Structure formats: C-alpha cells, structure tokens
Amino acid sequence: MKRSPVIAMFFCLSVAFFVCISAASDAAVGKADPQKKTGYTMGIFFRAGSGLDAQYRVMFKDLLDAFSAEEKIKFELIAYSEQDEFMADVKNGRLDFAMSIRMDPVYLMSKSGLMKPLFTITSFGKHTFRYCIYAKKGEQEKKTPALKGLKMATYEDMSAYYYLRKITHVQPEEFFEMSTSPNASSAVYMLGLDDTDSIFLADFNIEYFKLTNPGPVKNIVEVECSPEIPNVPMFVSKKTPPEIAEKVVDYCMKMDKLEALKKYRPLFRMIRARAQPVSEKDYAPLVAVYDEARKAGWNKGYDKWIKYQKQK
C-alpha cells in the first residue's frame, strides 16, 4: 500500500533519523557467534509510496556511514516491507532496535514488554501530531455532524480509523461515505477537485503542503481533530546495554551539526526537526486507544471496511 502518513513527510524523516544508529555491516547476524554479542541489529518497517522515498534512502546510507565511522560499533540494518515479518523478529528477539512508520506495530511493540521507546523526532517543532478532518473553506461553519452522509477520503491505517471512530462515535463507514486514498497528496487533490467532501489526515501532511506546495491547501480548514498523538518512536530492546542506547541518543541529538549530513541541514531547518527522548509514559494514551478499540471490537469493523475497499 502506498501511503503518506503514518509516511507522510514526517515518518520518512523519522526513519532517516532513526537509521542513524544502524551502522552498515557486511556480516549477517546469522554468521555471528550466538554465544557472544559482536554487534547490534536494527529493523525498520518501511513501506511508503511518496517521491521522498528515494531521497531518504540516500540519506539512510549517509547516516549509516557517519555513525559507523564515529562510534566504531558494528550494526546490521534490516529493512522490512511486511509487518508480520517485522513483528516476528521483534518477538523472537532478533532486533536490538526497531522502528515502524505505522502506528499498529508501535502499539504491538509497546504491549510486547520486550522493547521500550527511546526517542522520537520533532516535526515542525512538535513531537506529537493530530489526525484531523478537513473540508473546504466556505464550509468552515460546518461541524462534524453536518458532514454525515457525505464523502470522506482517508488512509487505510488502523490508527486513523480508530481515532476517526472516537470522533464519530459510530463506525466511520456508517457516518461517512468512506473511501481510501493511496497517500495524503492524493486525498488533498481529491478535496480540491470535489471528488470528496472531506479528508481525514495527519496534520503534518497539511503543514508540509503549506511549506512546499501551498496552493492545494490554501482553501481548506480544520473541522475537528483527535487529541495529540506522539510521533513514532525508535524502540530499543530492554536487553540492549544502556550504554549503547545512550550512544544512540547522544549521536542523534547532534545530527543537525554533523558535517557528514551537512547537505540535509536545509531540510532539518525547514521542518524544525530534532531528536527528543521519550518513554513508555508518552505512549500510554495511544496504547489506551488501541486497547479500547480491541475490547469494543472496532478492529473487526476496520477489517470488514478494508476488505470492502479492496473489492471495489
């Protein structure tokens, strides 16, 4: 699935920052002596469709090389395109560090008891974001109830579905005429072309548009938003030595000053990105939303809706 949030510009940048700790290694984990820890492994679940992908993949390599040269610590980087494979390696203890651009694995890792959040990356000066309903200006007097029965475009993400469910108080597909969008950009253009009456996106998507391509978003307004949600974190295994985790944080805190990453400074400045330490407490509200949703069976409604969307 191509997507933009949980890429959206922020998530891609987050991945880029997180990979700073994953120094490249020619040795596979499977070849290491199982009785002796000779290196560390980081897994990234990264599946996006934005044109930013290629840009950030180049950044990954620069980050890997910079950290490896400075810290002299051997790392292996594993990139995953399938969530099940990623979570299997989290559960079997293969990964010392892990990061997902989607919120579902963030919840699963938080509940696993095997890992804990280490730090996140601020976007536009914030370490949190909101999912928001947007509509065209001229409809700004409308509140969410006035949009009932009208068209809405949103991501396929389960987290977006859950937070929209908390706004509508019923299954979103019973409240709106729902459709999925492959990414945030497509949803914004759908709204501009009147192919939908509203969209439900992460607010940093709109902020990024305002900076880079303001035309498509100059005539839209927020209707209603979720509470603040913490940006995706980089997780560290609870078995990883604290001194290694500390090196990771220290290194990432100074990335905007590294000569090896000099060419990315304009991007860092543009979105006011920096590393910020986080803890399990920061993600407790997110975990609570997922727990509530699963207890109430919202995941079953989501699965049914997605199945229908894919059959259309």
Query: Residue 35 has what pLDDT?
Result: 39
Query: Tell me: the pLDDT tens digits for 140-196?
Result: 567 899 999 999 999 888 999 999 999 999 999 999 999 998 888 899 999 999 999
Share of the chain above pLDDT 70, in %: 80
Q: Using CB atoms within 10 A of its CB, is residue 73 exposed (0-12), middle (13-18) or buried (19+)? A: middle
- Residue 16 — pLDDT band, cuts 50, 70, 90? very low
Query: Residue 124 has what pLDDT?
Result: 82
Say which DSSP state 197 is in.
S
Rounded Cα gap, residues 309 and 153, in angstroms: 12
Rounded to an integer, the average pLDDT of 62-68 is: 70
pLDDT: which is higher, 135 or 142? 135
Task: List the one residue out of 220, 233, 162 whose CA is nearest residue 187.
Answer: 220
Rounded Cα gap, residues 157 and 267, in angstroms: 26
Share of the chain above pLDDT 90, in %: 51
Rounded to an integer, the average pLDDT of 280-286 is: 96
pLDDT: which is higher, 199 or 263? 199
Least confident of 15-29, 76-90, 191-205: 15-29
Query: Residue 64 has what pLDDT?
Result: 64
**Residue 269: other Cβ atoms inside 10 A:** 10
Domains, the chain, with CATH or none: 8-126+231-278 (3.40.190.10), 129-229+290-311 (3.40.190.10)
Q: Using CB atoms within 10 A of its CB, is residue 23 exposed (0-12), middle (13-18) or buried (19+)? A: buried
